[in-house]
A and B are shown apart, each in its own frame.
Chain A
Amino acid sequence: MVKTFIVGFDGTETCQRAMDFAVECAKAQGGTIHLVHILEWSPYSFLTQEELHERHARKEKEVASAEKFIAPTCKALRDQGLEVTSEVRYGNPSELMCEIAKNKKAAQIFVGRKGSSKLTRLMVGSLGLSLVQTSPVPVTVVP
């Protein structure tokens, strides 16, 4: 039985579909929803002097606004009677999702997918694709 339904959430319509599907499953199986909002971040990018000195202040602002952004969604789910946890993280989306899943018991990952053309599928490795290849837990890619 899956206990934790991890959903990658960025507010777009595609991930809303993934969320809806995860909620259905969670209700049917009596599991909890874990909402993950990821801010893309690489420790190897280049910063200017000013960005360097303002980084910490900006991080706090970014995290605060991200938490504010996901709060209504979490509340709506809780109002439906679901148990909901959430986290805002910095980093590479697929690596972070895998890491979070590893530390949860009996988890499953839900992510959305854009209806992309053949060409873009070849060129851009989507989050769903890389998760399918690397995730330690079952992955559901919702179209």
Chain B
Amino acid sequence: MLNYLNKLILSMLLLMFASSSFAQTNGFDQTINSIFEPIANAIGAVIFYSVPVAGVQFPLIVGWLVLCGVVATIFFRCIQFRGFKHAIDLVRGRYSKPDDAGEVSHFQALTTALSGTVGLGNIAGVAVAVSIGGAGATFWMILAGLLGMASKFTECILGVKYRNELPDGRVSGGPMYYLARGLKEERNMPGLGKVFAVIFAICCIGGALGGGNMFQANQAFSQVVNVTGGENSFLADKGWLFGIMMAVVVGSVIIGGIKSIGRVTEKLIPLMAGLYLFAGLIIIVVNIDMVGWAFAEIFRGAFTGEGVVGGVLGALIQGFRRAAFSNEAGIGSAAIAHSAVRTKEPVTEGFVALLEPFIDTVVICTMTALVIIISGALLTDLTGVQLTSAAYATVLPWFPTVLAIAVVLFALSTMFAWSYYGLKSWTFLVGEGRNKEMAYNFVFCIFIVIGSSMSLGPVIDFSDSMLFAMAIPNIIGLYLLMPVVKRELNAYWAKIDSGEIQRVDKPATSS
């Protein structure tokens, strides 16, 4: 372990020396920006291929994600509403047998998956949505969140059903596995399944480096600069330095194997999320007389699109886009986390997973949007995490500092989660092996430095495009495998009705 740590420190030092020569001439941040911007733009142009609809450019991929939510909602007849109570009961352990103790509980799978999705999407992403798409974007964001619940339900059931158990008892699961095995076993399409699985794995590595890494590093840096004095901050224009610091922290966990840092971060996340929600509630309560007006603005903006580039459709695109980025429904990432749960009934994990977009988008994102709208900060030129920060500061002046800490922690926990998702995809492609895994982890750390050095626009485009690219093979797979999920779901309901599966706290008296 120490050996790896030494290597890590050495390589970081080398990187710093190399960078200092750039810094003296042109500014390292600008150099990185000029190299990566054209690449990011090119990838973005392919994934975000847009068609003009009523005079606005509509990216097809956004429609693709929402369509999946609509189809899943219809196919499973509004499972996100019918199954909501059952999902809560499952998380509360009402159906957990005593023998399940010691295994991953539904609650643990949910919170770990949430720690990967709750993060900057909820703080910075929402701010981007309302600053570009206006208050009305919030309405479309909530709608996309509700639809996303059905997508997530589908993909997490498949993730558990087709997971792979290694001889040593560890499990690997996720879209790579259900695409490869599911399409082969259920649809007799082994070739297509394999191709989709490989495409998904490649995109997932890209998503891990983009949305799961560069976007996080970028926004964390932006907020840290903001609270340390803005343009006068000693860190301003030194994104690479901040990036190296973050890279050392992440690297010490994923390369150096110092798990305690990761564990501490994970354990601070619930506290930070609680603090963020609590502060948001305080601001809403202080301005309780404006909540009605804010909701009116959200509805009015959603259907009139007043003052928004592209009108209603502009607001809709922003809302849908940020919701998908935040809750990752249809992207396939959550299926990797949820596949670890040991359950005889894969369907139970689907129910638990549908709570994820609800908590992430319908609760947390909506709250952020409300705070931004109520505070009036929307009228400024700010965007991203700085807008959220300014909105919170209108009532709680000290909050930007807390938010900076929260943002760094959220960024770290999302990076840990995504480094894992990316690693699983990488090992799916190249096979398990210590050196192969270390090579991936090293590249992951380098991208933290790149991400914090770039400007927000290209980072968002690259992040979005790689994340959304994952949805192409994943959602085709979901459509093809939906009948399998339906079969599982019907069998599960039948077992509940017959009493074969019972609540543990209220056993039926007849048996």
Q: Which residues of A contact B (CB under 8 A)?
A: 39, 41, 43-50, 52-60, 62-63, 89-91, 99
Is A49 within 8 A of B417, CB to CB?
Answer: yes
How many of B's residues come within 8 Å of A, CB to CB? Answer: 36
Is A56 within 8 A of B416, CB to CB?
Answer: no
A and B contact pairs by CB, cutoff 8 A, 21 listed: A43-B93, A43-B101, A46-B112, A46-B266, A46-B270, A47-B104, A47-B108, A47-B112, A48-B262, A48-B416, A49-B416, A52-B104, A53-B172, A53-B340, A55-B103, A56-B170, A57-B168, A57-B169, A58-B169, A59-B103, A91-B101
Is B263 within 8 A of A48, CB to CB?
Answer: yes
- A99 CA to B117 CA in the complex, in Å? 38
Is B170 within 8 A of A62, CB to CB?
Answer: no
Q: Counting CB contacts under 8 A, is B109 at the interface?
A: yes
Supply 16 further A-B pairs (C-beta < 8 A) apart from A55-B104, A55-B342, A91-B98. Answer: A39-B102, A44-B105, A44-B108, A46-B112, A46-B270, A48-B262, A49-B112, A50-B259, A55-B103, A56-B103, A56-B169, A56-B170, A56-B340, A57-B168, A58-B169, A89-B101
Residues on A with beta carbons closer than 8 Å to the beta carbon of B101: 41, 43, 89-91
Q: Counting CB contacts under 8 A, is B116 at the interface?
A: yes
Residues on A with beta carbons closer than 8 Å to the beta carbon of B170: 53-54, 56-57
Q: Counting CB contacts under 8 A, is B329 at the interface?
A: no
- A55 CA to B107 CA in the complex, in Å? 14
With most chain B CB atoms within 10 A of its CB, the pick from A46, A54, A89 is A46
- How many pairs, one residue from A and one from B, have CB atoms within 8 Å of each other in the complex? 82
Q: Counting CB contacts under 8 A, is B36 at the interface?
A: no
Is B116 within 8 A of A46, CB to CB?
Answer: no
What distance in Å separates the Cβ of A90 from its nearest Cβ neighbour in chain B? 3
Residues on A with beta carbons closer than 8 Å to the beta carbon of B98: 89, 91, 99
Is A52 within 8 A of B102, CB to CB?
Answer: no
With A41-B102, A90-B102 as contacts: A48 and B259 at CB distance below 8 Å = yes
**Nearest-CB residue, chain A, relative to B165:** A56
Residues on A with beta carbons closer than 8 Å to the beta carbon of B96: 43
- A6 CA to B35 CA in the complex, in Å? 70
- A67 CA to B387 CA in the complex, in Å? 57
From 198 to 235 in chain B, residues with beta carbon under 8 angstroms from any chain A beta carbon are none
- A60 CA to B108 CA in the complex, in Å? 18
- A39 CA to B102 CA in the complex, in Å? 8
Residues on A with beta carbons closer than 8 Å to the beta carbon of B104: 47, 52, 55-56
Determine which of B102, B107, B112 lies in contact with A63 in the assembled complex, contact meaning CB atoms within 8 Å: B102
Is B102 within 8 A of A62, CB to CB?
Answer: yes
Determine which of A39, A43, A99 lies in contact with B105 in the assembled complex, contact meaning CB atoms within 8 Å: A43
Residues on A with beta carbons closer than 8 Å to the beta carbon of B267: 46
Residues on A with beta carbons closer than 8 Å to the beta carbon of B417: 49
Residues on B with beta carbons closer than 8 Å to the beta carbon of A58: 169
What distance in Å separates the Cβ of A36 from its nearest Cβ neighbour in chain B? 13
Residues on A with beta carbons closer than 8 Å to the beta carbon of B169: 54, 56-58, 60
Q: Main SS of chain A's interface residues?
A: helix
- A70 CA to B259 CA in the complex, in Å? 30
With A49-B337, A90-B102 as contacts: A43 and B107 at CB distance below 8 Å = yes
Residues on A with beta carbons closer than 8 Å to the beta carbon of B112: 46-49, 52
Is A45 within 8 A of B108, CB to CB?
Answer: yes
With A43-B105, A62-B102 as contacts: A48 and B266 at CB distance below 8 Å = yes
Q: Counting CB contacts under 8 A, is B420 at the interface?
A: yes
With most chain A CB atoms within 10 A of its CB, the pick from B98, B101, B170, B266 is B101
With most chain B CB atoms within 10 A of its CB, the pick from A43, A63, A91 is A43
Q: Counting CB contacts under 8 A, is B171 at the interface?
A: yes
- A91 CA to B266 CA in the complex, in Å? 22
Residues on A with beta carbons closer than 8 Å to the beta carbon of B108: 43-47, 52
Interface string of B16-34 (1 = CB under 8 A from A): 0000000000000000000
**Nearest-CB residue, chain A, relative to B168:** A57
What distance in Å separates the Cβ of A120 from its nearest Cβ neighbour in chain B? 25
Q: Counting CB contacts under 8 A, is B366 at the interface?
A: no
With most chain A CB atoms within 10 A of its CB, the pick from B100, B104, B262, B342 is B104
What distance in Å separates the Cβ of A51 from its nearest Cβ neighbour in chain B? 8
Is A52 within 8 A of B262, CB to CB?
Answer: no
- A27 CA to B172 CA in the complex, in Å? 51
**Nearest-CB residue, chain B, relative to A60:** B169
**Nearest-CB residue, chain B, relative to A44:** B107
Residues on A with beta carbons closer than 8 Å to the beta carbon of B171: 53, 56
Residues on A with beta carbons closer than 8 Å to the beta carbon of B105: 43-44
Determine which of A49, A57, A91 lies in contact with B116 in the assembled complex, contact meaning CB atoms within 8 Å: A49
Residues on B with beta carbons closer than 8 Å to the beta carbon of A54: 169-170
- A45 CA to B104 CA in the complex, in Å? 10
What distance in Å separates the Cβ of B92 from its nearest Cβ neighbour in chain A? 10
What distance in Å separates the Cβ of B462 from its nearest Cβ neighbour in chain A? 23
- A129 CA to B93 CA in the complex, in Å? 26
What distance in Å separates the Cβ of A95 from its nearest Cβ neighbour in chain B? 10
Is B420 within 8 A of A50, CB to CB?
Answer: yes
Q: 7 tightest CB-CB pairs across the interface, nearest first?
A: A57-B169, A43-B105, A90-B102, A90-B101, A49-B420, A52-B340, A59-B102
